[in-house]
Amino acid sequence: MTTDQRPDLKTACDAVLEGVVGSGGVPGVVAMVTDRERDLYGGAVGRRSLDSDEPITADSVFAIFSTTKAITGTACLQLVEEGRLDLDAPASTYAPELGDVQVLDGFDDDGSPRLRPPASAPTTRQLLCHTAGFAYDFFDHDYARLATEHGQPSVVTASRAALRTPLTFDPGTQWKYGSNIDWAGQVVEGITGQRLGEVFAERIFAPLGMTDTSFTLDGGMRDRKVTMHQRGEDGVLAATDFELPEPEVHMGGHGLWSTVPDYMKFIRLWLNDGAAPDGTQVLRPETVAMAARNHLEGDMTITGLPGVIPQLSNDAEFFPGMPKTWALTFMINDEDAPTGRPAGSLAWAGLANLYYWIDRRHGIGGFWATQIFPFADPASVGGYFDFEAAAYGALG
């Protein structure tokens, strides 16, 4: 892996990766740290699959799940800059199907969903902030009931039917993590007249030089794919044949495949006030500054995520007890984190235990990639926080 490695940083981070791979830990991990200009550390330890001796490598391909969201947010912000998207207009202006959305107000005695019109129409800002009202079945009991009792397809199917779920509250009244940014992707498609992957490729990936990121496993990407693993109730990991399907809809919330080096290029975009390596402004500096602040209304904060489907997620919360808010489209830690990450930094994660942070104050960021269900796997998320702390410790 070509990086400008500092010996102290390499020693500290290598120790974390080597310690988390093997006996009860993770099969393999790729992790990197960057500053505003270049990668400072890159490590790849372990195997792509427990069923193979093939090593995991820097260019291994991961299903990156919700780390897709910030890329969709970036596409939305570009359209705001061009005057083509009003974040506070009804999102149905651009994605007409949203005009039919209803609020789930519980279930009748016979189990039928009880629906009503929303008090207001969801806006694109609310979609990007997760305050529009959409949820995920693996984090919400009512959505799980819609799936098990009424055949609602999982969002992971990337089907149009999977998008057609009700709101769980009136827009703008709560924060709840869910399929909101999948709908933001539909807003982008409605404005541009292109599939989301085409928008990403032309407007984000090309200027950043991201050649290994796509909604489909194109070319040699499939040959480098990391196997998905499932941790059983006994704590033992097993390789699975899980693979995201060929998407009917390019889901703005979860659908991309990528490599860690490619994603580092996206992190540097946010560290560099929206500039690509050649100086091209993918986003304007003032747009980045606007997007990187809290956009929740009033004293609203984000909450922990309950693991409603244990096979897909444990109960999850970053830095429990610490106030956290939401930017466009990242979590903000409102206090200094125990890893060394300063207040005001940006971060999020992906369902298969992928994690990143963006520290714009100090100009550093990092990404940790594994392929393990359920989310918030103790070995992987614990390794990630140790990795982040090791990076801050070595960089001072």
Q: Token pair of 147, please?
A: 């799936």
For the entire predicted model, the pTM comes to 0.96
| Three-state secondary structure call for residue 338 | coil
Q: What is the pLDDT of residues 362-391, one digit of tens each?
A: 999 999 999 999 999 999 999 999 999 999
| 6 pLDDT tier (thresholds 50, 70, 90) | confident
Burial class (CB in 10 A: 0-12, 13-18, 19+), 121: middle
Measured CA to CA, the distance from residue 338 to residue 318 in angstroms comes to: 11
Work out the mean pLDDT of the chain and round it to a whole number.
96
Measured CA to CA, the distance from residue 132 to residue 170 in angstroms comes to: 7
Q: Token pair of 358, please?
A: 């963006």
Q: Token pair of 279, please?
A: 């100086």
Q: What is the pLDDT of residues 37-92, one digit of tens each?
A: 999 999 999 999 999 999 999 999 999 999 999 999 999 999 999 999 999 999 99
User: Which residues are CB-neighbours of 367 under 8 A, at least 6 positions away?
Assistant: 31, 32, 67, 260, 263, 264, 267, 354, 355, 356
Q: Please say if the pLDDT value at position 23 is more than 80.
A: no
pLDDT number for residue 4: 59
Measured CA to CA, the distance from residue 127 to residue 183 in angstroms comes to: 7
> What domains, with CATH codes, occur in the chain?
7-67+212-395 (3.40.710.10), 78-190 (1.20.58)
Catalytic-role residue among 49, 60, 66, 380: 66
Catalytic-role residue among 94, 177, 263, 355: 177
Q: Known catalytic residue: 66?
A: yes
Q: Please say if the pLDDT value at position 22 is more than 80.
A: no
Measured CA to CA, the distance from residue 368 to residue 264 in angstroms comes to: 11
Q: Known catalytic residue: 92?
A: no
Q: Token pair of 23, please?
A: 């006996």
| 218 pLDDT tier (thresholds 50, 70, 90) | confident
Q: What is the pLDDT of residues 249-290, one digit of tens each?
A: 999 999 999 999 999 999 999 999 999 999 999 999 999 999
Catalytic-role residue among 69, 176, 225, 265: 69
Q: Please say if the pLDDT value at position 2 is more than 70.
A: no
Q: What is the pLDDT of residues 315-350, one digit of tens each?
A: 999 999 999 999 999 999 999 999 999 999 999 999
pLDDT number for residue 1: 44
CA distances from 9 to 28, 58, 337 (A): 20, 17, 19
Measured CA to CA, the distance from residue 55 to residue 33 in angstroms comes to: 21
Q: Token pair of 45, please?
A: 């330890």
- State the residue for tokens 């992906």: 350
